[in-house]
């Protein structure tokens, strides 16, 4: 199998730290920030980013999970997906700066669904998007505000994100279709 | 999931998956915007050959919360009264483009006939057939028990070791049949209590203990859950007990029996209730009663069932 590791654990940590600084910079501080991860691995990344932003800013940043399963436009094209619980922080999202966090940004359809889901919880002042990996091939006019790594890829390649909490080890690899 | 016809078709993993999805659906029903776009463009037909209030309304609410289009059909006022057969009705629905058919029928097995006939491509959801099964009622009962016994931590759990006593008209009850199989699948211990005349003839294959005395069931069984069933006078063409007062005295959940239940026990009833016959008003309205919870949980469970039936590509097995 021709899997090539593109980010090691330390690279992931550095990328998340940089993203956390960039979030604080673009928001001019930590006021009204809410960090929401998209299940499954986006939630783990959101928790880490919220921890880092809290640590850097000295303010407690609320974070949660935003499940998009019930908002997807491709439910009829795949086996039935199980929804995951959404957890919206007690303060809600109205008037907040919401940063959506996902592991891999690809077609943009997940983010489209996330924006619809978010709208049903309230009206954020601003919504930003952070992705650990941007692999290109967008099918919708969506772009990330904060990127861990741009990873140009062929459509038939696979990007694997593995995180310690869920997978036991931690890296990002790219896998060729010819493997 | 292609159809939902019987709780016997659900294995433990499938049942828990449906209950977990119902938890997610229930969460969305706490929001200001309750409607989800999930089943946009799908058409759900409520095909009701028998009267129903809560089941039909519950399915209609569930389908609408998921943005499906709903067509309500009741046999009264339709061409069924002109003698149209189930087959012709089904083919009409096929021509309209129904994606799912929720069917309630007086004849046991009608939903399976519809599902296996090849008359329609739509998924079939059994909303009660004769004295056979009513799977979504059993699922919402299991959902309610799980939520009450494990508040906030019900996801992924079964009902292992939970003692459930089902009391009353077992003979005519599709709710009891669906519950017996589902509760057993989920690991609960089921006891049936009824006068011998209101029990089916052959219970050997049922995974349940049979008692004839409600007082014994309460005092010795120490049930966690007491599920009272409605006396279905509309299906009774014989004398099954001498008179309502005697039934109520021996098999009704009255105030005195209610007081003997453990403080954490729960009292369930699928509705509609005959207050004063199988259940006293105090029992029906007490804090132990889940009657109204069952109704609101019904919407979440039916949303989960419709989601499983209508999302996913059709090539998926089972």
| pLDDT recorded at residue B316 | 44
Q: What is the pLDDT of residues B209-260, one digit of tens each?
A: 999 999 999 999 999 999 999 988 777 777 788 888 899 999 999 999 999 9
Instruction: Tell whether B128 and B141 lie within a shared domain.
Output: no
Q: What is the pLDDT of residues B109-121, one digit of tens each?
A: 999 999 998 999 9
Residue B57 forms part of a structural domain? yes
| pLDDT recorded at residue B213 | 95
Instruction: Tell whether B269 and B146 lie within a shared domain.
Output: yes
Range of the domain at B187: 135-290
Collect all residues of chain A within an 8 Å Cβ-Cβ radius of residue B24.
67, 70, 83-86
Minimum Cα–Cα distance from A83: chain B residue: B21
Instruction: Tell whether B271 and B198 lie within a shared domain.
Output: yes
| pLDDT recorded at residue B291 | 95
CATH number at residue B203: 3.40.50.1370
Split at pLDDT 50, 70, 90, the class of A23 is very high
What's the mean per-residue pLDDT of chain B? 92
Instruction: Tell whether B32 and B121 lie within a shared domain.
Output: yes
Residue B2 forms part of a structural domain? no
Q: What is the pLDDT of residues B126-142, one digit of tens each?
A: 999 999 999 999 999 99
Residue B241 forms part of a structural domain? yes
Instruction: Tell whether B203 and B106 lie within a shared domain.
Output: no
Using the beta-carbon criterion (under 8 Å), do B313 and A85 form an inter-chain contact? no
Q: Does B312 touch chain A (CB under 8 A)?
A: yes
**What average pLDDT does the segment A52-69 reach?**
96
Split at pLDDT 50, 70, 90, the class of B312 is confident
Instruction: Tell whether B247 and B286 lie within a shared domain.
Output: yes
Minimum Cα–Cα distance from B23: chain A residue: A85
| pLDDT recorded at residue B318 | 37
Nearest to B14 by CA among B186, B203, B145, B172: B186
Domains of chain A with bracketed CATH: 9-73+85-156 (3.40.50.2020)
| pLDDT recorded at residue B314 | 55
| pLDDT recorded at residue B80 | 73
Instruction: Tell whether B123 and B71 lie within a shared domain.
Output: yes
pTM (2 decimals)? 0.91
Q: What is the pLDDT of residues B171-207, one digit of tens each?
A: 999 999 999 999 999 999 999 999 999 999 989 999 9
Q: Strands B163-167 and B225-228: what pairing?
A: parallel
**What average pLDDT does the segment A12-16 reach?**
97
Instruction: Tell whether B11 and B158 lie within a shared domain.
Output: no
**Which positions of B make up the binding site?**
54-55, 82, 104, 134, 137, 174, 230, 271-272
Which of B1, B24, B312 lies at the smallest CB-CB distance from A83? B24
Q: How many structural domains is chain B composed of? A: 2
**What average pLDDT does the segment A29-50 reach?**
96
Instruction: Tell whether B304 and B230 lie within a shared domain.
Output: no
**What average pLDDT does the segment A86-106 reach?**
96
Instruction: Tell whether B87 and B161 lie within a shared domain.
Output: no
Q: What is the pLDDT of residues A131-176, one digit of tens each?
A: 999 999 999 999 999 999 999 999 999 999 999 999 999 999 999 8
Split at pLDDT 50, 70, 90, the class of B83 is confident
Split at pLDDT 50, 70, 90, the class of B167 is very high
Collect all residues of chain A within an 8 Å Cβ-Cβ radius of residue B312.
75-76, 78-81
| pLDDT recorded at residue A1 | 59
Burial of A2 (0-12, 13-18, 19+ CB in 10 A): exposed
ipTM score assigned to the predicted complex: 0.83
């Amino acid at each position: 199998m021709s899997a090539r590791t593109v980010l090691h654990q330390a690279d992931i940590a550095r990328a998340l730290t940089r993203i956390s600084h960039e979030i604080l910079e673009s928001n001019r501080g930590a006021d009204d920030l809410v960090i929401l991860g998209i299940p499954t691995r986006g939630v783990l990344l959101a928790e880490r980013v919220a921890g880092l932003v809290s640590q850097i800013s000295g303010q407690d940043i609320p974070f949660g999970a935003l499940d998009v399963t019930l908002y997807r436009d491709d439910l009829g094209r795949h086996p039935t997906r199980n929804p995951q619980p959404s957890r919206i922080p007690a303060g809600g999202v109205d008037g907040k700066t919401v940063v959506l966090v996902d592991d891999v940004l690809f077609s943009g359809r997940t983010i489209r669904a996330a924006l619809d889901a978010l709208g049903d919880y309230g009206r954020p002042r601003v919504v930003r998007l952070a992705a650990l990996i941007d692999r290109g091939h967008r099918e919708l006019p969506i772009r990330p505000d904060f990127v861990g790594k741009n990873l140009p890829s062929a459509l038939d390649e696979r990007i694997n994100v593995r995180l310690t909490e869920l997978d036991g080890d931690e890296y990002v690899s790219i896998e060729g279709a010819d493997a | 999931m292609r159809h939902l016809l019987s709780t016997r078709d659900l294995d433990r993993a499938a049942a828990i998956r449906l209950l977990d999805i119902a938890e997610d659906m229930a969460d969305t029903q706490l929001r200001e915007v309750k409607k989800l776009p999930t089943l946009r463009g799908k058409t759900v037909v409520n095909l009701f050959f028998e009267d129903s209030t809560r089941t039909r309304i519950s399915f209609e609410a569930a389908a609408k919360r998921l943005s499906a289009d709903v067509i309500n059909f009741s046999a009264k006022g339709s061409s069924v009264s002109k003698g149209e057969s189930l087959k012709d009705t089904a083919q009409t629905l096929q021509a309209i483009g129904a994606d799912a058919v929720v069917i309630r029928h007086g004849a046991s097995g009608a939903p399976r006939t519809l599902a296996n006939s090849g008359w329609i491509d739509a998924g079939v959801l059994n909303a009660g057939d004769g004295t056979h099964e009513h799977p979504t009622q059993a699922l919402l009962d299991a959902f309610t028990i799980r939520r009450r016994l494990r508040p906030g931590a019900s996801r992924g759990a079964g009902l292992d070791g939970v003692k459930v006593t089902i009391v009353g008209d077992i003979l005519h009850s599709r709710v009891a049949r669906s519950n017996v199989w589902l509760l057993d699948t989920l690991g609960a211990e089921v006891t049936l209590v009824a006068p011998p005349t209101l029990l089916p003839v052959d219970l050997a294959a049922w995974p349940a203990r049979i008692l004839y005395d409600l007082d014994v069931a309460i005092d010795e069984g120490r049930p966690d859950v007491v599920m009272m069933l409605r006396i279905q006078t509309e299906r009774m063409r014989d004398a099954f007990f001498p008179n309502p007062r005697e039934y109520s005295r021996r098999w009704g959940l009255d105030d005195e029996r209610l007081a003997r239940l453990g403080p954490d026990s729960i009292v369930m009833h699928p509705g509609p209730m005959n207050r004063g016959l199988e259940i006293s008003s105090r029992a029906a309205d007490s804090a132990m009663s889940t009657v109204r919870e069952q109704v609101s949980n019904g919407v979440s469970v039916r949303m989960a069932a419709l989601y499983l039936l209508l999302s996913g590509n059709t090539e998926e097995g089972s």
